[in-house]
């Protein structure tokens, strides 16, 4: 993997993408994250459309969700060694999954502004094409799987409830319960609502079906 710092002509854009908020102040990367999210979405959508010409929209959408979800972005951030490059005095933020995912998108937005769509597209494909090829079957996230389970069994759709939110705004921790009335419930934790909901759904699925059935 090429050193991120050597990719940029405009080093100030890279610095902006890597600078975190300090004690709740607005982070430099947030506008770049907004842009990078759209750039990543476009490139991944085109990649899936091209690589899977016979798949229906619903299957493509599941693949897309897997490739751009927070967990995947955080893994890419680690691959790119972004935690050590982050500009922050708060060490714990370097391992915050939600922040790493956001900064990963900010980096893509910055690279787009710095060198244009062709360069950032090539960069994205070099990372996301192998990720796509790892999953021959279109994956389903735990929330989607749990919802389908409830629908097939004729149950009420899962209900997600925030039990607790702790920590400062720039590094929160959520505890969320998912429940299907008369069937069961589970509690998940994470540094974003999405992560906590997915964990809760996964735990409930394992209660209902057993961990070996959840792929």
Q: Which residues are catalytic?
A: 37, 105
CA of residue 142 relative to chain centroid, distance: 14
| CA 26/CA 62 separation, integer angstroms | 32
Cβ pair 92, 98 in contact under 8 A = no
| CA 13/CA 56 separation, integer angstroms | 38
Residue 162 has φ and ψ, to the nearest 5°, of: -75, 115
| CA 213/CA 215 separation, integer angstroms | 6
In DSSP terms, which residues pair with 174 in a beta bridge? Answer: 165, 190
């Amino acid at each position: 993997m090429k050193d991120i710092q050597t990719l940029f002509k405009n080093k100030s854009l890279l610095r902006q993408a890597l600078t975190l908020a300090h004690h709740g102040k607005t982070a430099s990367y947030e506008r770049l994250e907004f842009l990078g999210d759209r750039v990543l979405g476009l490139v991944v959508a085109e990649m899936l459309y091209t690589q899977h010409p016979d798949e229906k929209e619903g299957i493509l959408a599941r693949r897309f969700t897997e490739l751009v979800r927070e967990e995947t972005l955080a893994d890419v951030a680690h691959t790119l060694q972004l935690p050590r490059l982050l500009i922050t005095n708060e060490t714990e933020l370097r391992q915050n999954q939600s922040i790493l995912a956001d900064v990963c998108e900010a980096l893509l937005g910055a690279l787009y502004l710095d060198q244009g769509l062709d360069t950032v597209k090539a960069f994205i494909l070099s990372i996301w094409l192998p990720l796509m090829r790892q999953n021959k079957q279109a994956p389903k996230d735990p929330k989607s799987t749990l919802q389908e389970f409830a629908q097939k069994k004729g149950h009420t759709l899962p209900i997600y409830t925030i039990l607790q939110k702790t920590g400062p705004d720039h590094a929160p921790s959520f505890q969320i319960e998912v429940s299907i009335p008369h069937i069961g419930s589970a509690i998940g934790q994470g540094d974003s609502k999405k992560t906590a909901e997915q964990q809760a759904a996964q735990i409930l699925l394992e209660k209902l079906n057993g961990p070996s059935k959840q792929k």
